[in-house]
Amino acid sequence: MKIAIIGHGRMGKTVENVAPQRGHSIHCIIDKEEDWQKKHQELKDCDVAIDFSMADVVVQNIERCHELNIPVVTGTTGWDDQRLKMIEPLKNSGHTLFYAPNFSIGVNLLFELNRKLSHLIQGHTQYAGKIDETHHIHKVDAPSGTAIALANDIISNHKAYAKWTKEQSQNTNELPVHSERIDEVIGDHKVTWDSDVDTLTIAHHAKNRNGFGLGAIIAAEWVRDKKGYYEMTDMLFA
């Protein structure tokens, strides 16, 4: 495939490094506003665009690619309200969007375990849940998109929780999500269920970014000839 990278930060560079290992070429890199005009022809020739940009420009990036009939795979987080509004229109638009807050295969297995554990443990009211996430000091959003996805899945599968909160709360229906930004930590996520007699934990520790880049490229391979809106569960657990 000829891949366009939109957003040439840490994750964009990771995709750039991993793509040749899967036999693909990086045909176009868009990192600044002027690149959309300067590299229009290169972008037009691409089979798929992989976007790791910023929340305030991701919708415009997607729309620009869709105008050229280019499928988009995005891992940009922090724009959930806008994304949710796009899902239904995309189903019949003839365009393609694949979204994941985290493209790591391991993290998506963690998501699946989290959903199942939340459902199983809800009948055992002695356990209180919480989420801890740690990333590098350059990460803008907190909590991370991955932590928010974990929290929302708990809320959907555990009747005791109505919402998540960044602050420690005395309300038992609020799920605490704690964020830390430390040095160059790639990404750590931990879900804990604590009682007076024991603690149950599921967690994911990223050793490097290659797993995220590989997952994004696998998603691009999978979604290239499809139309509509997709997430990792569609690809991994269909």
pLDDT single digits (tens) 130-175: 999 999 999 888 999 899 999 999 999 999 999 999 977 788 899 9
**Same domain for 188 and 118:** yes
- The CA angle 108-26-68, to the nearest 5 degrees, is 85
Question: What pLDDT, on a 0 to 100 scale, did the predictor assign at position 109?
Answer: 95
Please list, in sequence order, all residues whose beta carbon lies within 8 angstroms of the beta carbon of residue 229, skipping any fewer than 6 positions away: 86, 87, 90, 91, 96, 97, 98, 99
User: Which positions of the chain have pLDDT values less than 50?
Assistant: none
Predicted pLDDT of residue 177 = 97
Which residue is catalytic, options 2, 40, 44, 139? 139
pLDDT of residue 171: 85
Q: How many domains does the chain have?
A: 2
Both 99 and 66 in a single domain? yes
Tell me, yes or no, whether 132 and 95 share the same domain.
no
Catalytic annotation present for 135: yes
Claim to verify: residue 123 and residue 187 sit in the same structural domain: yes
Q: Are residues 199 and 141 in the same domain?
A: yes
Closest by CA position to 70, among listed 37, 91, 96? 96
| Residues 51, 96 within the same domain | yes
Residues 214, 97, single domain; the answer is yes
The answer on 140 and 123 residing in a single domain is yes
The active-site residue, picked from 135, 189, 190, 204, is 135
Are 93 and 115 within 8 A, CB to CB? no
Q: Indicate if 159 and 215 belong to the same structural domain.
A: no
Angle at 167 between CA 142 and CA 78, to 5 degrees: 25
**Within this chain, do residues 120 and 185 fall inside the same structural domain, yes or no?**
yes
Q: Which domain holds residue 63?
A: 2-103+210-236
pLDDT tens per residue, range 204-217: 999 999 999 999 99
Are 153 and 80 in a shared domain? Answer: no
- The CATH number of whichever domain residue 150 belongs to comes to 3.30.360.10
